[in-house]
Structure 1
Amino acid sequence: MGPVTEQITLHLLIPDGSTVALDTDWRYRPDDPYAVRLDFGERAAGASWVLSREMLLASLCGPVGEGDIRFTPIDGGLLRLVLGRAGDSVILTVDRAELAAFLTATTESVPLGEESERIDWDGGLAGLLSA
């Protein structure tokens, strides 16, 4: 299978307690099998984050992460996603079922445990040596 792309609406928590809906693009490429790219688009000045697929899968089962990326399950079938460092972070929520569906599609594209078979190790090494 090829790349997996899904648009998922996240909700940004504003300091006054309200939320703002953000349409985000989640992208998975079989040639970069350990990573998921989260693109926030023009509304967020083109911000993007690269997340670990393994971490995202673990977030479906419970709290995960430390440092700049943390997920915590919360009520209502949601996951809280904190991006950034303490004092300079954003708090978002994502629908757990939507994220699970996206991740299921990634595992259909590249089954768990087969990631290393998809990496072009020789090409990567050649690129490093030619730089």
Structure 2
Amino acid sequence: MSEKVAAQLRMRLITGEAQGRDLDVECRYESADPFAVHLDFGAEEGAVWVVARDLLAAGLRGPVGEGDVHIEPSGTGEHVFIALGGLSGVALLNAPARPLARFLRATGRAVPVGSESCRIDWDRCISDLLSA
């Protein structure tokens, strides 16, 4: 049975130098997909981003990422900047570090870091690939 962890985080979408708007983002984790965290921006925004759990955790400590996702703690450590790049540009989010860290600790209780690959049904993955 898949264990699920979820948390609602208020993030700020930075849209300009002194502008932005708050977004309620649902962070979801399922032990059946142990490497991934889903950031659901809700029906109004119509977007769900899938981000590596270890990338989010590393971003609490220092700048990380390449490609479409970059994460970096603020100078005070109270917030984390998350940059999500897509075809229409880059969304820069300011997320509270402590609630994000609490969520990630909860995911670690569901699936300890380093044990993720033990949760994947490799036979089913291979079967699905061969039947595609």
TM-score when scaled to structure 2? 0.91
Equivalences for residues 59-74 of structure 1 within 5 A: 59-74=59-74
Please tell me whether the aligned partners of residues 67 and 85 of structure 1 are also in contact (alpha carbons under 8 angstroms). no
How many equivalent residue pairs? 130
Moved more, 7-16 or 53-62: 7-16
How many Å apart are 1:75 and its aligned residue? 3.9
Moved more, 14-23 or 62-71: 14-23
Q: Which runs of 5+ in 2 are unaligned?
A: none
SS in 2 for 1:17: coil
How many Å apart are 1:66 and its aligned residue? 2.0
- The residue that corresponds to 1:113 in the other structure is 114
- The answer to whether residue 50 in structure 2 is matched with residue 50 in structure 1 is yes
SS in 2 for 1:129: helix
Q: Which runs of 5+ in 1 are unaligned?
A: none
Distance change >3 Å, CA 49–CA 55, structure 1 → 2: same
How many Å apart are 1:113 and its aligned residue? 1.1
2:124 partner amino acid? G
Please tell me whether the aligned partners of residues 24 and 41 of structure 2 are also in contact (alpha carbons under 8 angstroms). yes
Distance of 2:60 and 2:75 partners within structure 1: 13
Equivalences for residues 12-91 of structure 1 within 5 A: 12-15=13-16, 17-44=18-45, 46-76=46-76, 77-84=78-85, 88-91=89-92
Please tell me whether the aligned partners of residues 83 and 90 of structure 2 are also in contact (alpha carbons under 8 angstroms). yes
Distance of 2:5 and 2:31 partners within structure 1: 9
Distance of 1:52 and 1:117 partners within structure 2: 17
TM-score when scaled to structure 1? 0.92
Distance of 2:114 and 2:17 partners within structure 1: 43
Deviations, residues 28-70 of structure 1 (Å, cap 9, x unaligned): 11011111111111121x2111101111110111111122111
How many Å apart are 1:98 and its aligned residue? 0.7
- The answer to whether residue 102 in structure 2 is matched with residue 101 in structure 1 is yes
Distance of 1:27 and 1:95 partners within structure 2: 16
How many Å apart are 1:86 and its aligned residue? 9.8
